[in-house]
Structure formats: structure tokens, C-alpha cells
Amino acid sequence: MHDDKGNWFPNELVEESNPNYIPKRVQVLIDNGSKAECKCCYSKEYLTFDHVNPTSKGGKDDNNNGQILCSRCNSIKSNKFISIKKLRKLVK
Ligand SMILES: [Zn+2]
């Protein structure tokens, strides 16, 4: 993939800049019954896979430890192990 200046960049970056792009791991959560929206602010754009208990804090890298957050809420949550209720207060 090349931009209009001829610079090469990976397709993944193009997909991530699309607000409606659903990453594969998010799609798996949706297939398992999650709503296709941010669990915190209900946004349906820029959805990302979040580890409920961050892997840096010993959380497992599997779907049972996964939830859907938009990229904004995910960046605010960062590597904290907090409930959605607390995260909503931080996001506001
Ligand atoms: Zn959100």
C-alpha cells in the first residue's frame, strides 16, 4: 500500500485509521456474544480488544479476559485493572 506521496505503509495502519474497522480479536468477541460497541461509552467506532486484567499485571491473553473498548477509552484505561464503572468516571 502506498500513499499519494509514494510512501509505503502496512495495510494494517490503513485499516486502523478506518473508524468502522473491526480488528479480528474484536470480531471473535462479537461472535461470542459481545455487542459491537465500546463497553464503556457505547461508541461503535475505533473498537479495540482490551484485556480486562492487563497482561502486564498477570492477566491472561485469552478471550475470557477480553472486552471491547473504543481506542479512546482503551487509552484512558491503559494498563489499569479497573471496573467499567470506574473507567466511565475517568473517561468523563
Ligand atoms: Zn469508549
Break the chain into its structural domains and give their ranges. Answer: 20-91
- Written as nine digits, the cell of 34 is 459481545
pLDDT value at residue 1:
53
* Total-model pTM: 0.82
Please name the residue that has the C-alpha cell 471496573. 83
- Distance of CA 1 from the midpoint of ligand 1 (Å): 29
pLDDT value at residue 17:
78
- Distance of CA 39 from the midpoint of ligand 1 (Å): 7
- Distance of CA 78 from the midpoint of ligand 1 (Å): 12
The correct answer on CATH 1.10.30 for the domain covering 20-91 is yes
Identify residues whose C-beta is under 5 A from ligand 1, the ion.
38, 40-41, 43, 70, 73
Is residue 58 within a helix (H) or strand (E), and if so which, with residue range? Answer: none
pLDDT value at residue 53:
97
For 3-12, write each residue's pLDDT tens digit: 666 666 555 5
pLDDT value at residue 2:
61
For 12-59, write each residue's pLDDT tens digit: 555 567 999 999 999 999 999 999 999 999 999 999 999 999 999 999
Alpha helices in 1-92 (DSSP H): 11-16, 24-31, 71-77, 84-91
In terms of Cα–Cα distance, which of 1, 5, 51 is closest to 25? 51
